[in-house]
Amino acid sequence: MDPINVFDYEKLAREKLDQLAWDYYNGGSDDEVTLRANRSAFERIRIRPRMLVDTKNLDMRTTALGTPISMPVIVAPTAAHSMAHPDAEIATVQATGNCDTIFTASTAASRNVVEIAQAATGPIWFQLYTHRNLDFSRTLVQRAEQAGYRAIVFTVDMPQLGHRERDLRNNFDQLQQLPTANFQLSEGFLNPTERHKIDTWETVDWLKSVTSLPILLKGILTAEDALLALEHHVDGIIVSNHGGRQLDGVMAGIEALPEVVEAVAGRCEVYMDGGIRRGTDILKALALGARAVLVGRPVLWGLAANGAQGVRGVLEILRSELALAMTLAGCPNLASITPSLVKIL
Ligand SMILES: Cc1cc2nc3c(=O)[nH]c(=O)nc-3n(C[C@H](O)[C@H](O)[C@H](O)COP(=O)(O)O)c2cc1C
Ligand SMILES: CC(C)CC(=O)C(=O)O
């Protein structure tokens, strides 16, 4: 099969992955209400296209915290790429760089923070989960800074692992069994039930004190927390529900985006993720105020299907779908994508 959309890569990945890896990648928490909402919410947003607009010189380039990227699509941090393909993060970081966009390396990656930076062919961000010993985290963040990462993405929605029933049925204990390189999660994360003792808003201040890199908070879903993030001087917010893997029943990323954008009022950059599978999804997110979107599972599907080439295939499909959506909607560039482009039903 020659994949013509991202879902074709999902089918190819399903054929390659064993049940445990498939469930870990694709699953959500509890009843997976939020996981499904991340997709279905896009169907309640309709596009108001404009006609007879000159889109010959279509331009979707932008910047993310000052870094130029060729399209408003960034690779989200996801753990342990070696479960998808032996080339692991080396393949994903290189394919992403070859598409001229940003790769975000997870703290729970299967290659360490320096190996990934050395393999990179483009800009990279580092996603942080704190270690129970903050000195260890300081070293990790500083190693990332020295290795050339351009921002720290601090994930704030995991005081404890969500209740992922597919993994429980497979006896897959992520904190014990994920093949991670930076540290053993079972040692670093505390006892999973005590993890909530680690991170507070003070941790954001601590993070600012140990790095000069810009900081994004990933996992914000409300205006209240967006305002607190601004009080703590973050550089960016990623509106996210962790791909429906943490608290089930929370809003879809695309549903939470407008209130965060309104609260922030241009004072920092706002990104979103969750359920981005089509160029039209990206168009809708940009219309509702995201600077760019992040994609999680589709990149893992591409990696599982065909290594670096599969990752590139996924990202190029999203690029060409967005180009077509912009053309048909009468948007020659990202600045022309404004709230009036969509109607929320
Ligand atoms: C298998 C898997 C592993 C993930 N690992 C991480 C992680 O290590 N750190 C993190 O901040 N988010 C992690 N996430 C969440 C993603 O960064 C992102 O928020 C989510 O996947 C976006 O939704 P999507 O998969 O529908 O695109 C993970 C998601 C998946 C599916
Ligand atoms: C359990 C974490 C280390 C990885 C993660 O964020 C996830 O699986 O969603």
Segment 312-324, tens digit of pLDDT: 999 999 999 999 9
The per-residue pLDDT for 188 is 86
The per-residue pLDDT for 187 is 85
Tokens of 99: 């598409």
Containing 238, the helix (H) or strand (E) segment is strand 236-239
Q: What is the pLDDT of residues 194-214, one digit of tens each?
A: 777 789 999 999 999 999 999
pLDDT above 80: residue 193: no
pLDDT above 80: residue 83: yes
Measured from CB, residues less than 6 Å from any atom of ligand 1 are: 24-25, 38, 76-79, 106, 108, 127, 155, 218, 240, 242-243, 245, 273-276, 295-297
Nearest to 96, CA basis, from 281, 279, 314: 314
Determine the Cα–Cα distance for residues 109 and 164; give it in Å rounded to an integer. 20
**Cβ within 8 Å of residue 253, ≥6 positions away:** 38, 221, 239, 240, 241, 272, 273, 274, 275
Determine the Cα–Cα distance for residues 296 and 25; give it in Å rounded to an integer. 9
Q: Is 276 annotated as a binding residue?
A: yes
Q: Are strands 45-47 and 342-344 parallel, antiparallel or unpaired?
A: antiparallel
Number of the ligand 1 atom closest to the C-alpha atom of 155 = 11
Nearest CA to ligand 2 atom 4: 79
User: Would you please indicate which residues are annotated as catalytic (active-site) residues?
Assistant: 242
The per-residue pLDDT for 198 is 80
Is residue 295 included in any domain, yes or no? yes
**Amino acid at the residue 177:** Q
For residue 192, name the pLDDT band (cuts at 50, 70, 90). Answer: low
The per-residue pLDDT for 189 is 81
**Cβ within 8 Å of residue 168, ≥6 positions away:** none
Q: What are phi and psi of 55, to 5 degrees?
A: -120, 25
Q: What is the C-alpha R_g of the chain?
A: 19
Q: Is 164 annotated as a binding residue?
A: yes
Is residue 17 included in any domain, yes or no? yes
As a whole number, mean pLDDT of residues 95-115 equals 98
Range of the domain at 226: 4-45+55-336
Number of the ligand 2 atom closest to the C-alpha atom of 158 = 6
Q: What is the pTM of this model?
A: 0.98
pLDDT above 70: residue 298: yes
The per-residue pLDDT for 210 is 98
Nearest to 220, CA basis, from 160, 157, 268: 157
Percent of the chain with pLDDT over 70: 99
Q: What is the pLDDT of residues 117-126, one digit of tens each?
A: 999 999 999 9
Q: How far is the CA of 70 from the centre of ligand 2 (A)?
A: 28
Are the C-beta atoms of 163 and 29 separated by less than 8 Å? yes
Are the C-beta atoms of 180 and 79 separated by less than 8 Å? yes
**CA torsion sign, 142 to 146 to 152 to 155?**
negative
**Cβ within 8 Å of residue 246, ≥6 positions away:** 29, 157, 158, 162, 219
The per-residue pLDDT for 196 is 73
pLDDT above 90: residue 227: yes
Determine the Cα–Cα distance for residues 157 and 340; give it in Å rounded to an integer. 31
As a whole number, mean pLDDT of residues 100-109 equals 98
C-beta neighbour count of 53 within 10 angstroms: 14
Is residue 309 included in any domain, yes or no? yes
The per-residue pLDDT for 71 is 99
Nearest CA to ligand 2 atom 5: 79
Q: What are phi and psi of 73, to 5 degrees?
A: -135, 125
The pick from 174, 238, 299, 300 for probing ligand 2's pocket by mutation, whose C-beta has the most ligand atoms within 8 angstroms, reads 174
Q: Are strands 62-64 and 67-69 parallel, antiparallel or unpaired?
A: antiparallel
Give the alpha-carbon dihedral of 241, 242, 248, 252, to 10 degrees: 40
Q: State the average pLDDT for the chain.
A: 97
**Cβ within 8 Å of residue 176, ≥6 positions away:** 185, 186
pLDDT above 90: residue 144: yes
pLDDT above 90: residue 37: yes
Determine the Cα–Cα distance for residues 238 and 240; give it in Å rounded to an integer. 6
The per-residue pLDDT for 207 is 98
Number of structural domains in the chain:
1
Measured from CB, residues less than 6 Å from any atom of ligand 2 are: 79, 108, 161, 174, 178, 185, 242, 245
Is residue 50 included in any domain, yes or no? no
Is residue 345 included in any domain, yes or no? no
pLDDT above 70: residue 20: yes
Q: What is the pLDDT of residues 257-288, one digit of tens each?
A: 999 999 999 999 999 999 999 999 999 999 99
Q: What is the ipTM of this complex?
A: 0.99
Is residue 341 included in any domain, yes or no? no
pLDDT above 70: residue 69: yes
What CATH number should be reported for the domain holding residue 59? 3.20.20.70
Helices 297-329, 279-287: axis angle to 10 degrees equals: 70
Determine the Cα–Cα distance for residues 37 and 250; give it in Å rounded to an integer. 9
For residue 4, name the pLDDT band (cuts at 50, 70, 90). Answer: very high
Is residue 342 included in any domain, yes or no? no
pLDDT above 90: residue 79: yes
User: ∠12-17-20 over CA atoms, to 5°?
Assistant: 140
For residue 221, name the pLDDT band (cuts at 50, 70, 90). Answer: very high
